[in-house]
Amino acid sequence: MKARCKPYKLAALIIDPGIAMHPAAEHSPLGKSSEYIATYTPSLLFPIPRAAKWAELGLTAQTLPYKGVDFWNCYELSWLLPSGKPVVAIAEFSIPADSPNIIESKSFKLYLNSLNQTAFDGAARVQATLEKDLSAAAGKPVGVRIRNLVEIEEEGVAVLPGVCIDELDITVSSYDQPQPELLRCDDSQVIEEAVHSHLLKSNCPVTSQPDWGSVVVEYRGAALDHASLLAYIVSFRQHSDFHEQCVERIFLDLQRLLKPEKLTVYARYVRRGGLDINPYRSTEVLDVANRRLARQ
């Protein structure tokens, strides 16, 4: 008989739909009617401290068990040249996973829209402006890369590494909150593998709109039962939380179960409002490309 990793009990993790929304989010523009301002207005950015969501997971800024980054992609970036001619581009933003704040997504969109009728000397000036404003909001330096459309077209779409587990037969009966007790592993085997699923879905904690995503898990540790992982991923389906916290919860649940030598959890969410969010959490040094998937 195979040795089995026992499901752990969540002593430290709080999974309560009633506390899913960060208090600061109540004062953000998310879920409210907003005026679209077409001239540069950095004050539109609305930072939300990560600390409260870390606390729900039993973490502080000093005890984060991962390294990581949140990749944001903007597909609707535009500004004016001094001549008045518009420019369009795609922007990539890299926000450190240990930054004090996330940036509320609607405020991010409103801020980016405020560039639409603003004149800049060129892309370098736009990039410098974005770096300054976003770094101030996040509380740590934010990387910005502005790319032209030809470059993106030549790059094409990426495929997640490893085995796709979506065709496995599973029975699911609950979707309201993540269920780490579903996870199983064989601790008589230590393996290194990558698996992925396109069935990740959660809900925005403010608007309840669906957040669709794909997630890849790469690890070296006790052999993870793939069907149990898929059932666990599906259990997020009606859970309300931000993208970043969903990925951090998956990382922590797998880390507690597998006790891996190394672990990476990387999710790529479908865009909403011209932005997509792609949180990456890993025990290893950051080594990942920001490549869009077919649904992005």
What residues are labeled active site? 204, 211
| 193 in a known ligand binding site | no
| 244 in a known ligand binding site | yes
Quote the CA–CA distance of 155 and 169 in Å, as a whole number. Answer: 34
Alpha-carbon separation of residue 78 from 20, 36, 205, 294 (angstroms): 34, 14, 29, 24
Quote the CA–CA distance of 274 and 270 in Å, as a whole number. Answer: 10
Distance of CA 156 to the CA centre of its chain: 21
Tokens standing for 230?
Answer: 């898929």
Residues 161-190 as b/e (b if ≥16 CB within 10 A, e otherwise) read eeebbeeeebeeeeeebbbbbbbbbebeee
| 146 in a known ligand binding site | no
| 152 in a known ligand binding site | no
| 105 in a known ligand binding site | yes
| 273 in a known ligand binding site | yes
| 145 in a known ligand binding site | no
Specify the DSSP element, H or E, that contains 248: helix 243-258
Beta-bridge partners for 240: 203
| 214 in a known ligand binding site | no
List binding-site positions.
Answer: 103-106, 243-244, 272-273
List binding-site positions for NADPH.
Answer: 105-106, 272-273
List binding-site positions for substrate.
Answer: 103-105, 243-244
